[in-house]
Chains A and B, each alone.
Chain A
Amino acid sequence: MSFIGIYLLTLLAAIMLVTLLDSRGKGVVAVCGIVALSVISSVPAVNALMGQPLNQLFHGSFVTGPVQVAIDPLSAWFILVINFTMITSVLYGRRYMEAYHSRRSALSLHWVSFLLVHIGLIAVCAMRNSIAFLVAWELMALGSFLLVIFEGNKVTTIRSGINYLVQSHIGVALLTVAFVWVAAVTGTFDFSGIVQFATLQSPTACFGLMLLFFIGFAFKAGFVPFHTWLPHAHPAAPSHVSGMMSGVLIKIGIYGILRMIVLIGTNYLAVGYFILVISVVTGIYGVMLAIVQHNLKKLLAYHSVENIGIIGIGIGLGCIGMGYNCTPLAIVGFAGALLHVLNHSLFKSLLFYGAGNVYQATHTMDIEHFGGLIKRMPRTALLFLLGSLAICGLPPFNGFVSEFIIYSGLFSGINASFSNASILIFVFAMAGLALIGGLAIMCFTKAFGVVFLGEPRAKLHTEPAEFGFGRLLPMYMVGILIVVIGLFPQFFINAIVSVLGQMVGVSASAPILPASFGALSQIGWYMAWFILLVVAVYAVRSFFTRRLPESEGGTWGCGYVALTPKLQYTASSFVRTYRRLAKGILLINKQKTKVDGIFPSAASYSTEALDRVETDLIKSPLRMVRYLLGKFSFLQNGRLQNYILYGLLFVVLVLGLPFIVQAVRIFINYLNTL
């Protein structure tokens, strides 16, 4: 039996079993199912990376035409990234969902959707036929919608879920238009039609097609201004789902963009500059909004937007390199983007799992209620710190490796000085990336510092406690990989050589890696050296301080001794200066009651960050439309007589239409004879 047959049978068996067993059994089956599916799909993926792509042709139907299922290096890389995060997500999710063990039917739906999303993601990577691709895409989108609304009894959850569903389908609509355009020109739904389209049509038409695809995929990936569903859907979903969605689901948008770049293969320069600029804007906007969020998961969601921006910078760089026929630059750009896809899937899922632990220990996501959790949940705190350092792109962890590659691409782009415009845009991207890095540090010092450090800021209903090893295991798995990529980046670069070959159109066997990659193998050594240095300094410190007296006391309050946790800096105060500085871009809803009078009543101060893009591009137009349509609400007055009248008018109109048209025609003819 073929690989695809085994794959589908496994899926079917898992889905059947999930619905039959009890809550505990459902989790176990889901874990086994996902692991089995991952193993089965990883085998051809690894083969493809090693140079033996899978390629099968099915007859399909008379609508679709033959359906090609193929796993080439590009698909393979995304399949492997998806599989790893899926495994950690299901391992974490099994424990996470134990809290909801009484909701058996909801759990069945949840795990079935989870399995379907997995196969949807893999199928999107493997399908080479537009219609099959869109079906797989829908499977993934609808499945993830069901995952998001697990807690659908809450109004905000269901609202976020529907928001996601609608926006996701606007993306699907654009993709459909693009695919139909291709089919109309070439007469085939196969992906080879897109290649034909590019040879048949003018560059402008190709750019238009690329733009359609880009925007369609950008809705999934979360490029600004198509990101507004992300900050709603991620906080609403259970944490393992947020981790999976942020880690791999939005990356499928990146996959789509890369695939279309390979297929369309013209206008590299225009496409590259377009993606580069929109990505820098995405990155900066995402992190700027992330800083002012007070919901931990919303903060992480905005960081996904930022990281999509960083990946996009890599893609843009790669396209520009292709456009100038500068293969080393193209390779560096795509390598940075592809590696960051993996890296982001790791640290973002780790951070979401950490946030999930915090949520289930405290039952709140409001960052201002936390504090001092490191003493109660030390291992979660350590793993969250690891994720924070990695997402800020700090050495010696994996985020640094991919950002370093992108930086080196930008610098070699500047040095190559193709044109003045290219230099300026590269400098813009570089300064943007530096700013993103700085802002990310601000964001995660806030997130980690306020959540885990200091003293508790609010009284919680339950005393938070650390979770068991089973819960932390997937987090350790991710954490270890984060460190390993930091120390051995060369291994992972070698793994994507064939993908890069495919992206830049060079055969995989040729030695295509540019010289600047030589530094990468050394980077691992410097990272290791740096870790040793830290250990050495700490060892020296321990050695010298072992005899010295050490005592404990209260925090030094500069002479003030009645310190309370209320005096601590809060998340709002930590970002206050920044918020004032960036007030032109941010949209903050501020509520405060002042301390006033001789006997002041309770004072309060709260800020809520709104998304300007969402307010201006979605909410205001919607409000206007609603206002306009509201003018006609008198029509819907609930009187049956009126409704019958409308029906009558409609019938008269329909019947009378030919007569009216004829009358108009006669009148026009009469005018012509004059």
Chain B
Amino acid sequence: MLSFALILVVSLFFSGIVVRTKSLASGRKGPGIWQPMRDIWRSLRKGSVYSTTSSPVFRVAPSVYFASVLAAIAVVPLGSNAGLFSFPCDFVFFAYVLALGKFFCIIAALDTGSSFEGMGASREALFSMLAEPAFFILMGTLGLITGHTSFLQIFSDLHLGSTLSYALVSIACFLLLMICMIENSRMPVDDPKTHLELTMIHEVMILDNSGFDLGLILHATNLKFAMYGALIANLFIGNLEVSVAAPVFLGIQFVVAVVAGIIESFMARFRMSHNAQFILVLSSLALLMLFGVMLVNN
């Protein structure tokens, strides 16, 4: 319950911090940290324009996408405090319910009959597919370390005992951060700044969405950021008391947002054709982590 509420709170200013970091890094004055939320609020109160090509799928999809992200957040715990739900293999539910949202996003993009959105949909389908094995190998590895199969038990049992486990957790952090960037279609895989260019994935998929639906999609991105931030934070929280865990959680989320901002400021986007290789490298990193754990266990 607590983690669900905290993630919702964090999602309100996560993008703001990223944007603020980027503006500071590039020496601009930049917008305030509430600006992304103000944009979303403005979208939510606007009317919508629907393409005559589109069908009811297009109108339902943003709601399904938003709900899928909320459902995924529901299984994310806060250290040893369960999320809304916790059950064995809940991360399978997590991954698949997110995939459901993505499915609807993709078919909504195809529903408009636009060539731009078709292109974005094609890329989104491909890249998120490639990131899937990395996440599962990572969770399998964490399961192997702790001997459990749910987010809650894995995270509450994950102790940073030895130096080697620091190394492993740092790989896990990197993996989750990169999966987060891929899932949210940010640098170095996708560049949300280059509007209406052929270089984008997610932004180009939602060209036709407007009004409330656009607001939902934009905020779903914020929620996803906060959700992956929460997973990263959980690597460190372990079984801390709630009074300590909550501030640590917020702190780590802040750091993750700043790091995301820094990555966005100082990295160039990869060539689209090289993205696939980069994402596959994540799977091999996850395998590296697995081998590390198998070495320790032996």
Q: Is the CB of B144 within 8 A of A423?
A: yes
Nearest-CB distance from B132 to chain A (Å)? 4
Given A553-B51, A555-B114: A408 in contact with B89 (beta carbons within 8 A): yes
Contacts of A577 in B (CB 8 A): 122-123, 126, 272-273, 276
Chain A contact residues, majority secondary structure: helix
- Residue A567 is within 8 A (CB to CB) of chain B in the complex: yes
Secondary structure at the B interface, as helix, strand, loop or mixed, is helix
Q: Is the pair A557, B114 in contact by a Cβ cutoff of 8 Å?
A: yes
- Out of B45, B103, B122, B273, which one reaches A392, CB within 8 Å? B103
Contact between B122 and A576, CB atoms less than 8 A apart = yes
Give the chain A neighbours of B129 by CB distance below 8 A. 435, 438-439, 441-442
B96 touches A530 (CB 8 A): no
From residue A529, how far is it (CB to closest CB) to chain B in Å?
8
User: Which of B96, B99, B122 interacts with A575 by CB under 8 Å?
Assistant: B122
Q: Does B208 lie within 8 Å of A555, measured CB to CB? A: yes
> Within the assembled complex, what's the spacing in Å between the Cα atoms of A415 and B99?
25
Name B14-64 residues within 8 Å CB distance of A: 44-55, 57, 60, 62-64
The reply to whether the CB of B278 lies closer than 8 angstroms to some CB of chain A is no
A492 contacts the other chain (Cβ, under 8 Å)? no
Once the chains bind, are B67 and A534 in contact (CB under 8 Å)? yes
Once the chains bind, are A526 and B132 in contact (CB under 8 Å)?
Answer: no
Chain B 265-298 interface mask (CB, 8 Å, partner A; 1/0): 0000000110010000001000100100010011
* A386 smallest CB distance to B (angstroms): 12
Docked Cα-Cα span, A536 to B51, in Å, equals 25
- Binary per-residue interface labels of chain A (509-538) against chain B in the complex, 1 for a CB within 8 Å, 0 otherwise: 000000010010011001001100110111
Within 8 A of B (CB), among A453-482: 453-455
Complex Cα distance, B169 from A80, in Å, reads 49
Say yes or no for B160: interface residue by CB 8 A criterion. no
How many chain B residues touch A (Cβ–Cβ < 8 Å)? Answer: 84
A430-B89 in contact (CB<8A): no
Contact A404 B92 (CB under 8 A): yes
Within 8 A of A (CB), among B88-119: 88-89, 92-93, 95-97, 99-100, 102-103, 106-107, 110-119
Would you list 30 pairs from A and B whose C-beta atoms are within 8 A, ordered by A residue? A372-B113, A394-B97, A400-B96, A404-B92, A404-B93, A407-B89, A407-B92, A420-B294, A430-B136, A438-B99, A441-B128, A523-B87, A530-B67, A533-B70, A533-B71, A534-B63, A538-B60, A541-B213, A548-B45, A548-B47, A548-B211, A555-B51, A555-B112, A555-B113, A555-B114, A557-B114, A574-B121, A577-B123, A577-B126, A578-B122
The 6 closest A-B pairs by CB, nearest first: A569-B118, A438-B129, A449-B110, A549-B47, A454-B113, A431-B133
- Chain A residues within 8 Å of B, Cβ to Cβ: 371-372, 374-375, 385, 389, 392-395, 400, 403-404, 407-408, 410-412, 414-415, 417, 420, 423, 426-427, 430-435, 437-439, 441-442, 444-446, 448-450, 452-455, 516, 519, 522-523, 526, 529-530, 533-534, 536-538, 541, 544-545, 548-558, 563, 565, 567-569, 573-578, 580-581
Supplied contacts A442-B126, A455-B113, A557-B116, 16 more A-B pairs, CB within 8 Å:
A374-B55, A385-B107, A389-B100, A394-B97, A410-B140, A423-B144, A446-B125, A454-B111, A519-B87, A529-B71, A530-B97, A548-B45, A555-B52, A569-B115, A574-B121, A581-B276
